[in-house]
Structure 1
Amino acid sequence: MSGSSPRPNRVVFTRQGVWRGFVVSMPLWVGMLPFGIVIGLLSAAKGLSFAETMLMTTIVFAGAAQLVALELWTDPAPILAATIATLVVNIRMAPMGAALAPWLDKLRGWKLWGTLATLVDHSFALAIAEQRAGGRDAGYLLGIGLGIWISWVACVAMGHLGGGMLQVSPGHPLFFASIAAFLSILVPLWRGARLDLLPWLVAGLVAVAAHRAALPVPLPLLAGTFAGATLGAWLEIRGRAVRWK
């Protein structure tokens, strides 16, 4: 007899899942605060108006891309260089989408495009952890993204509005916020195997070496990304070959 109950592995998209993801994102708002303020401060220092900063923040919604673009920003603006740099920074979104395919492939219309538009490193990390735990509500991913988007826009706005009152030197510890935020999202991605840490370590070392070699932005990031990804792929293929034997 065929039942009408959903299959155990069937992906769903519910309002409860969206709300649960939104609530889960709330602790991340604290981490967004210093990073967003830095972006707002830099935007004000580069001469961007509040409206321009908010337009970039709401549409781009990518802290690393905004940071790279602002570092390259001059007058006149280097449109081509900034475009290439942000493309390199955001190329990581392609494998993220592939990893989330079990959920994304089942979505259509605004559910799919809204989820993709708000996909960031933090929502990806939490969603992957949810998938590994057997979660099947894709609304969870959108909820996290929406929560982070709201907090990000608010934090950047505060940073820009306070830019005229707060002068931050280039070496101020506040600028470490972006690095700390990205390091924190590695925690839920780690599956406990020490070997999984090796690609991350190699990526970091290669990026630092490229930076010390005075390679222009974003080449250090690109070099580290490809080095870590190549090693990770090789380890994954090697592990599968061993299991098949």
Structure 2
Amino acid sequence: MNQTSSRRDSSFDRFLLGARACFPVAISIGAYGLVWGVLARGAGLTLLEVSLMSGLVFAGSAQFVALDLWTSVPSALPVGPLILAALIVNLRYLLLSATLRPLYPAKGGMGRGILSMYFVTDENWAMTVAAMARGEGSVAFLVGGGVLAWIAWMGTNLIGYGLGSTIDDPSRWGLDFAFTATFLALLLGMWKGRGDLLPWLVAALAAILTSRLVEGSWHILGGGMAGSLVGAIMEGRRHVRQS
């Protein structure tokens, strides 16, 4: 009984640790969550639609893309393009979730894995990967940050929707830069040294090149795959030299 209680306490402690680690970025999530709520009201979404999309989809970039395609007339809603756009934008989660595989047991735990993947965002993924590098990463840490991100996103979406009539131009308040600022902060937080420079440069160049050649959000996946490939090759060579 004591061992079971101890494990639960330990998991809860890691959950809180993940939430605390993600608190600074949750503020930024709230900022562009506010923007999305304002834009969603302007696009004609109802409060119920905003609540369902934010609560179930929980993917900021895909939701911003959805607003560009949204129409208030149900019969004219482009369901196919909406699904395809969300799929393309969120393909990067194939890469993100793959890096989290070491957190899960080799056998079993499929249900827990699927549930926790719902709470994966770019922000708590970055914090969890950084924690894994320090030997502190865990599923509870990941979920703790994800739950906080969900609360920040859902709450500010609803607030933004309510304020939609008073904030007609989010850029006047600097809220349009919150999304970019968040990812710049995450990027700097993941910098480990000059060894990261080449993969990052390759990822950036691949993303820029892909964006000029292919329409849509394929540049996100292209940059991520190119940078990951270079990073994997460099890591493999490093292990060979050390052995």
TM superposition score category, shorter chain reference: 0.7 to 0.9
SS at match of 2:207: helix
**What does the per-residue CA deviation read over 1:190-216, in whole Å, with 9 as the maximum and x for residues that have no partner?**
222x231333233333434454x4842
Query: Structure 1 stretch 145-154 or stretch 59-68: which is displaced more?
Result: 59-68
Distance 1:238 1:171, change over 3 A: farther
For 2:218, the equivalent position in structure 1 comes to 219
Identify the match of residue 70 of structure 1 among 51, 64, 67. 67
Query: How many angstroms apart in 1 are the aligned matches of 2:200 and 2:69?
Result: 26
Superposed, 1:109-124 pairs within 5 Å as 111-124=112-125
For 1:81, the equivalent position in structure 2 comes to 81
Query: How many angstroms apart in 1 are the aligned matches of 2:17 and 2:111?
Result: 19
Q: TM-score, normalised by structure 2?
A: 0.81
For 1:59, the equivalent position in structure 2 comes to 56
Query: Structure 1 stretch 111-120 or stretch 67-76: which is displaced more?
Result: 67-76
Q: Residue type of the partner of 2:63?
A: Q
Give 5+ residue unaligned stretches, structure 1: none
Query: How many angstroms apart in 1 are the aligned matches of 2:24 and 2:132?
Result: 20
Query: Structure 1 stretch 100-109 or stretch 146-155: which is displaced more?
Result: 100-109
More helix by share: 2
Distance 1:69 1:20, change over 3 A: same
Identify the match of residue 42 of structure 1 among 39, 44, 60. 39
Q: Residue type of the partner of 2:223?
A: G
Answer whether contact 2:124 2:146 (CA < 8 A) is retained. yes
For 2:98, the equivalent position in structure 1 comes to 98
SS at match of 1:164: coil
How many residue pairs were aligned?
235
Q: TM-score, normalised by structure 1?
A: 0.80
Report deviation, 1:34: 1.7
Report deviation, 1:133: 1.4
Report deviation, 1:73: 3.1
2:178 matches 1:184: no
Query: How many angstroms apart in 2 are the aligned matches of 1:207 and 1:174?
Result: 25
Answer whether contact 2:33 2:156 (CA < 8 A) is retained. yes
Answer whether contact 1:13 1:138 (CA < 8 A) is retained. no
SS at match of 1:185: helix
For 2:12, the equivalent position in structure 1 comes to 15
Q: CA RMSD in A?
A: 3.1
2:135 matches 1:138: no
Distance 1:51 1:97, change over 3 A: same
Query: How many angstroms apart in 1 are the aligned matches of 2:132 and 2:43?
Result: 41
Answer whether contact 2:35 2:170 (CA < 8 A) is retained. no
Answer whether contact 2:92 2:220 (CA < 8 A) is retained. no
2:231 matches 1:232: yes
Query: Structure 1 stretch 48-57 or stretch 60-69: which is displaced more?
Result: 60-69
2:127 matches 1:126: yes
Answer whether contact 1:207 1:223 (CA < 8 A) is retained. yes
Query: How many angstroms apart in 1 are the aligned matches of 2:197 and 2:86?
Result: 26
Query: How many angstroms apart in 1 are the aligned matches of 2:51 and 2:154?
Result: 7
